Amino acid sequence: MINCDLQKLEILGAPYLFEFATQHIKEEVYRVYMANVSRLILKATARLGNNEVTIPTYYDIIHPKNEPEQSSETVKQGILDEYRKIGGANTNGSV
């Protein structure tokens, strides 16, 4: 019974699929590791210049969060608010 099941798995290409999946997982782990190392180096470098930066993780870039749709007026108002925070000249809604 066991030999029969193993033969079916070999016919279906299970060893190849297992090897492919294993290789894919190893590559993904390597990408995440290298992205995290790069991220830490960038943050440390930014701190040397007395700057604080926000750098997304590799996973966040590959799997972005779905944000709710916003109207154009809401987006415009958000941009104007940020502009005012950094010292924008007009506060009446025009740029």
What's the CA gap between 34 and 30, in Å, rounded?
Answer: 6
What's the CA gap between 94 and 45, in Å, rounded?
Answer: 37
All structural domains of the chain with their residue ranges: 2-64, 67-95
**Angle of the 2-11 helix axis to the 14-48 helix axis, nearest 10:** 60
What's the pTM value of the predicted model, to 2 decimals? 0.47
Tokens found for residue 45? 């470098």
Residue identified by tokens 């995290």 is 36
pLDDT in tens, 27-75: 999 999 999 899 888 888 887 777 777 778 888 888 888 877 888 888 8
Decide if pLDDT at 84 tops 80: yes
**Alpha-carbon dihedral 38, 44, 46, 47, rounded to 10 degrees:** 160
pLDDT in tens, 65-77: 887 788 888 888 8
